[in-house]
């Protein structure tokens, strides 16, 4: 029911990945622009995310009020999101209705209006979105840590942007951003579902090939200098609960160490998408009543980014005690080889999670485009095989190399009513 995918580059430089899946009468279409918070200079932070919002405000052919109704009427689902490295839009529709999605996406690649009034009302919507985020202690802590971990590289600011910039950016700023980055040669399209590849490709050529290529977008190139020594910070806020977040520096997704680090993450904090109650940190921190919750999280990125361990403290514990336990767990992996069985288990977990997610056509199209942004679809297709190659020695080596106190940032959220 699932065929091999095909990859095509259109004459204007747009890359198209197609994968037939004939299990349900659905098609999911994604378009990815290679632009995100990594492309934003100071003064324009949050511009990629705001531009994403403006893409729902309409074109002359599909006015904003018509757009979402047209999709919803067909029973479709659509949305968008902005990350460090990309801005993406998806539409999943009953298979016989996908043409609407294809036309709409081609149209708003070039014809969005960015009406002055719409910009003004979206400004307050996004400010409200940020105020909602600021209600959350962990948003504020993560933001402070990220700013500390990246002084030079534009990964330093939150995707939503700083309040100062949200108040001052203009319609012209947003429109220029749109024109500079929303060009076919900066876009990747990924479509999965119930279609015939040759007719789908013909339709895509018909709709997208006439769109002219633009100039290659200018990129910021500001690599983060090496961190020399642990940095600690603390912040205060309302509440009774103390949170500690520790970040280590992880390499980019295409680095060969990414896979042993993925295994290490799974051993420390559990497999992504499953419960984590037998992970090493759960046993050490939660079973032993130092914490009431914890998580480990990393994301594949173009440039080196972070691995974040977030710990919700047990009310009777202090941050220092908890950090000592965390350090001793990391030390164990650095000093003693993990068993082969532990790695085999991590791979079985990853295989199960892959099986669950393959039921969902939207998800299949997502991974095809997402992996293309930071590596290539081959990265995703070979993911399990690359995990299977990881040895206990690899895990030990990366634990020693990447989990050094000298290159980490530790942040504590101190509750003022605690």
The residues in 206-245 that bind other proteins, with binding defined as CB under 8 A, are 206, 237-241
**Stretch of 21-29, 32-40, 104-112, 382-390 lying at the interface with other proteins (CB under 8 A):** 21-29
**Stretch of 11-19, 149-157, 282-290, 394-402 lying at the interface with other proteins (CB under 8 A):** 282-290
Give how many residues touch other proteins by CB under 8 A.
Answer: 85
**Stretch of 36-44, 283-291, 320-328, 371-379 lying at the interface with other proteins (CB under 8 A):** 283-291
**What is the C-alpha separation between 293 and 69, in angstroms, rounded?**
41
Residue 74 within binding range of other proteins, rule CB under 8 A:
yes
* Contact predicate 399/261, CB 8 Å: no
Q: Is the Cβ of residue 43 or residue 132 nearer to other proteins in the bound state?
A: 132
**What is the C-alpha separation between 66 and 62, in angstroms, rounded?**
6
Helix, strand or coil for residue 235? strand
Choice from 215, 277, 389, 393 touching other proteins (CB under 8 A)? 277
Residue 9 within binding range of other proteins, rule CB under 8 A:
no
* Contact predicate 386/207, CB 8 Å: no
Choice from 43, 172, 219, 356 touching other proteins (CB under 8 A)? 356
**Stretch of 164-172, 281-289, 295-303, 370-378 lying at the interface with other proteins (CB under 8 A):** 281-289
218-221 long-range contacts (CB < 8 A, ≥24 apart) are 218/180, 219/39, 220/38, 220/39, 220/40, 220/41, 220/154
Q: Is the Cβ of residue 202 or residue 220 nearer to other proteins in the bound state?
A: 202
**Contact letters for other proteins, residues 308-337 (x by CB under 8 A):** ----x-xxx---------------------
Q: What is the DSSP letter of 58?
A: B
Q: Is the Cβ of residue 231 or residue 235 nearer to other proteins in the bound state?
A: 235
* Contact predicate 244/408, CB 8 Å: no
Q: Using alpha carbons, list the distances in angstroms from residue 19 to 172, 200, 234, 356, 361.
A: 38, 10, 48, 18, 10
Q: Using alpha carbons, list the distances in angstroms from residue 399 to 59, 330, 332.
A: 51, 7, 10
Determine which helix (DSSP H) or strand (DSSP E) holds 379, and give its type and residue range.
helix 377-381
Query: Which residue in 57, 36, 82 sits closest to 217, CA to CA?
Result: 36
Structure tokens given for 87: 């801005």
Phi–psi pair at 315, nearest 5 degrees = -55, -25
Choice from 172, 230, 289, 321 touching other proteins (CB under 8 A)? 289
Segment 87 to 146, residues that bind other proteins, using CB under 8 A: 92, 94-99, 120-129, 131-132, 134-135, 137
Choice from 69, 219, 340, 389 touching other proteins (CB under 8 A)? 69
Determine which helix (DSSP H) or strand (DSSP E) holds 172, and give its type and residue range.
helix 171-181
**What is the C-alpha separation between 4 and 2, in angstroms, rounded?**
7
In the complex, the smallest distance separating the C-beta of residue 289 from other proteins, rounded to whole angstroms, is 6
Residue 400 within binding range of other proteins, rule CB under 8 A:
no
Q: Is the Cβ of residue 81 or residue 356 nearer to other proteins in the bound state?
A: 356
In the complex, the smallest distance separating the C-beta of residue 188 from other proteins, rounded to whole angstroms, is 20
Q: Is the Cβ of residue 110 or residue 201 nearer to other proteins in the bound state?
A: 201
Q: Is the Cβ of residue 4 or residue 199 nearer to other proteins in the bound state?
A: 199
Q: What length does the chain have?
A: 418
Segment 151 to 190, residues that bind other proteins, using CB under 8 A: none
Choice from 327, 359, 378, 385 touching other proteins (CB under 8 A)? 359
């Amino acid at each position: 029911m699932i065929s091999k995918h095909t990859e095509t580059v259109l004459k204007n430089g747009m890359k198209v990945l197609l994968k037939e899946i004939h299990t349900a009468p659905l098609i999911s279409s994604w378009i990815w622009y290679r632009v995100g918070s990594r492309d934003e200079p100071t003064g324009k932070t949050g511009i990629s995310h705001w531009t994403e919002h403006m893409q729902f405000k309409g074109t002359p052919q599909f006015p904003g009020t018509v757009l979402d109704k047209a999709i919803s009427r067909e029973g479709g689902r659509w949305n968008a999101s902005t990350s460090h490295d990309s801005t993406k839009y998806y539409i999943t529709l009953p298979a016989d209705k996908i043409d609407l999605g294809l036309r709409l996406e081609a149209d708003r690649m070039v014809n969005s209006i960015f009406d002055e009034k719409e910009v003004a009302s979206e400004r307050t919507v996004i400010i409200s979105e940020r105020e909602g985020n600021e209600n959350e202690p962990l948003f504020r802590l993560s933001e402070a840590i990220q700013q500390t971990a990246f002084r030079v590289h534009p990964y330093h600011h939150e995707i939503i942007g700083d309040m100062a910039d949200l108040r001052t950016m203009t319609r012209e700023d947003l429109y220029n951003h749109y024109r500079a980055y929303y060009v076919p040669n900066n876009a990747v399209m990924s479509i999965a579902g119930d279609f015939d590849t040759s007719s789908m490709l013909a339709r895509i050529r018909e709709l997208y090939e006439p769109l002219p290529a633009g100039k290659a977008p200018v990129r910021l190139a500001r690599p983060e200098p090496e961190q020399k020594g642990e940095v600690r910070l603390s912040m205060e806020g309302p509440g009774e609960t103390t949170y500690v977040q520790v970040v280590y520096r992880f390499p980019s997704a295409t680095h060969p160490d990414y896979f042993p680090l993925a295994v290490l993450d799974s051993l420390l904090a559990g497999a992504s998408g499953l419960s984590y109650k037998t992970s090493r940190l759960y046993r050490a921190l939660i079973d032993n009543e130092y914490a009431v919750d914890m998580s480990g999280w990393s994301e594949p990125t173009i440039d080196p980014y972070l691995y974040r361990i977030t710990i919700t403290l047990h009310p009777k514990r202090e941050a220092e005690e908890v950090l000592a336990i965390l350090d001793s767990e990391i030390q164990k992996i650095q000093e003693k080889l993990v068993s082969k069985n532990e790695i085999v288990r991590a791979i079985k977990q990853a295989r199960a999670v892959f099986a669950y997610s393959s039921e969902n056509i939207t998800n299949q199209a997502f991974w095809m485009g997402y992996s293309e942004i930071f590596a290539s679809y081959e990265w995703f297709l070979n993911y399990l095989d690359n995990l299977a190659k990881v040895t206990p020695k690899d895990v030990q080596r990366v634990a020693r190399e990447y989990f050094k106190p000298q290159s980490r940032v530790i942040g504590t959220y101190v509750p003022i009513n605690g």
